[in-house]
Amino acid sequence: PAPQVQDAPAAAAAAADLGTATRADFPILHQSVNERPLMYLDNAATSQKPRQVLQTMDEYYGEGGYNSNVHRGVHALSARATAAYEAAREKIAGFINASSPQEIVYTRNATEAINLVANTWGAAQLREGDEVVLSVAEHHSNIVPWQLLAQRRGLVLKFAELTGSEEVDLEKLAALITPRTRLVSLVHVSNMLGCVLPTQRVAEMAHGVGAKLLLDCCQSVPNMPVDVQTLGADWIVASSHKMCGPTGIGFLWARYSLLEQMPPWMGGGEMIQEVRLEGSTYAEPPSRFEAGTPAIAEAIGLGAACDYLSGLGMERVAAHERELGAHLYWQLRSIDRVRIYGPSPEARLGRAALATFNVEGIHPTDISTILDSTGVAVRSGHLCTQPVHRHLGISSSVRASPYIYNTKAEVDAFVDALKDAIQFFT
């Protein structure tokens, strides 16, 4: 059954209801793991997919479907596939309030989107001695592409550190930004600390010296309203699989005028205007960046995921997560020997609905292994953020991250399971 579409409901009521309301849409959640009901709390790594998204992809491939290569096709299936593929672009554009669908470039995932910026704008614009400012809290995908480019181009990478409350330190950030800074690239919502970046303020800092701002929105686009008209970023990137969409697709957004300045990266079909043996001319964005047969079913699936989330209402999703996240945080805080990383939910911009923590004296993977044997799926390890782990003096951690289909009751059950696990090792 399709979820009820409500308009800006009272935050508390929405939060109480959303988990229960959406649960029926996610067939995968209704199973047992190790003879206990699955409790999926690894959503910051990947989300589950609602029936509606799976149906949309089945309708593409299956009975009465229209699987076919897109663009240039002159037959009916190709026409339908092209229309659906481009309609999905429009849905994504609408979801983040882009000015035009042509500002959405499909990529495999957010990682590829960052690499795309590094290898097009970055490779074309950045020169020896130019500075790129990041933070120690970045995901590896927002560090390694710049390290690779820095090696090629002789760039200087600078890393903003954390405040005492374990958010990105804006004062330190401001001090790192100089007239040589060409790019500031930061995580909007940290997948490890849960801290939220005041994007407009950072945009002012970056733009003040003529630098551009890229935001890694992997943990914000799925969880809160993100409006690129007010965000302040020049580029944002996000991944489908974390926002109810299929694997194998993600996107880059930039203002069209900026996309136009970016040279091509990968060569092949779709991205060309004319190919001659002596040289080729390239298509306008976004095609310029989409070489080869694209991830068609996946793009269409991501469009359906945007529809699904819009149907719920992103304000409602955010309210639900705010409530669930705060509950998770305070419950964990009440356990002896548990240390949660990142700011409290009372921080000015709040924190994401995820809690990364350690239990004194117990290895994170031991915790997650025991939790798994009771049906609870959480992540443990370095969470693809080794630098911030090192910065905090740890090598790994445990992370629980609820999403739209999780309930307060599940958070309580998780906390109980964690207490049992701690007991197990004591």
Beta strands in 212-354 (DSSP E): 212-216, 235-239, 250-254, 272-276, 279-282, 338-340
Query: Is 384 part of the annotated catalytic residue set?
Result: yes
Number of residues that bind another protein (CB under 8 A): 41
- Least distance in angstroms from the C-beta of 344 to its own copies: 27
Tokens of 183: 């790019």
311 binds, among its own copies, another protein, none (CB under 5 to 8 A by kind): none
The answer to whether residue 200 forms part of the interface with another protein (CB under 8 A) is no
Nearest to its own copies of 229, 261 (CB atom): 261
Least distance CB 16 / its own copies (angstroms)? 26
The least CB distance from residue 73 to another protein, in Å, is 7
Where in 350-369 is the site for another protein (CB under 8 A)? 362-363, 365-366, 369
Distance CA 60, CA 228 (A): 30
Residues 116, 101: Cα–Cα separation, whole Å: 18
Residue 255 interacting with another protein (CB under 8 A): yes
248's contact among its own copies, another protein, none, with CB below 5 to 8 A by partner kind, is its own copies
Query: E strands along 188-268, which residues?
Result: 212-216, 235-239, 250-254
State which residue, 204 or 416, has the beta carbon closest to its own copies: 416
* CB 391 to its own copies: min, Å: 9
Number of H helices, E strands in the chain: 15, 17
Cα–Cα separations (whole angstroms), residue 170 to 180, 185, 186: 18, 13, 12
User: Which CB, 172 or 363, lies closer to another protein?
Assistant: 363
What dihedral angle (degrees, nearest 10) is formed by the CA atoms of 369, 373, 378, 384?
30
Which of 2, 10, 13, 76 lies at the binding interface for another protein (CB under 8 A)? 76
- Residue 97 CB, shortest distance to another protein, in Å, is 6
217, 244, 306, 384: the catalytic one is 384
- Identify the residue among 65, 381, 413, 419 touching another protein (CB under 8 A): 381
**Which residue from 46, 36, 48, 40 is spatially nearest to 375, judged by alpha carbons?**
36
Q: Write out the binding residues for another protein, residues 15-54 only, by CB under 8 A.
A: 34
Q: How far is the CB of 86 from another protein (least distance, A)?
A: 8
Q: Which of another protein, its own copies, none lies near 350, with the C-beta cut-off 5 to 8 A by kind?
A: none
Please list the alpha-helical segments (H only) found in 96-234: 110-117, 123-125, 144-153, 170-176, 199-208, 228-231
Residue 416 in contact with another protein, rule: CB under 8 A:
no
Paired residues of 185 in beta bridges: 214
- Beta-strand (E) ranges in 343-419? 355-359, 376-377, 379-381, 397-400
> Which two structure tokens, joined as six digits, stand for 250?
């993600």
Decide which of another protein, its own copies, none touches 61; Cβ closer than 5 to 8 Å per partner kind: its own copies
Residue 175 CB-density burial (10 A; 0-12 exposed, 13-18 middle, 19+ buried): exposed
Which are the contacts of 408, defined by CB distance < 8 A and separation ≥ 6? 15, 16, 19, 323, 324, 327
Beta pairing partners, 213: 184
315 contact, one of its own copies, another protein, none, CB 5-8 Å limit per kind? another protein
Site for another protein in 56-75 (CB under 8 A): 71-75
161 binds, among its own copies, another protein, none (CB under 5 to 8 A by kind): none
Would you count residue 260 as binding another protein (CB under 8 A)? yes
Using rule CB under 8 A, residue 315 touches another protein: yes
CB atoms inside a 10 Å sphere around CB 5: 10
Q: Taking the complex as a whole, how short is the minimal distance between the CB of residue 395 and another protein, in angstroms?
A: 8
Task: Specify the stretch interacting with another protein by CB under 8 A; choose among 24-32, 94-102, 239-247, 341-349.
Answer: 94-102
DSSP 3-state assignment of 379?
strand
Give the catalytic positions in this structure: 384
Which residues contact another protein by CB under 8 A?
8, 34, 71-76, 78-79, 82-83, 86, 94, 97, 99-100, 225, 227, 229-230, 255-257, 260-261, 315, 362-363, 365-366, 369-370, 372-373, 380-381, 395-396, 424-425
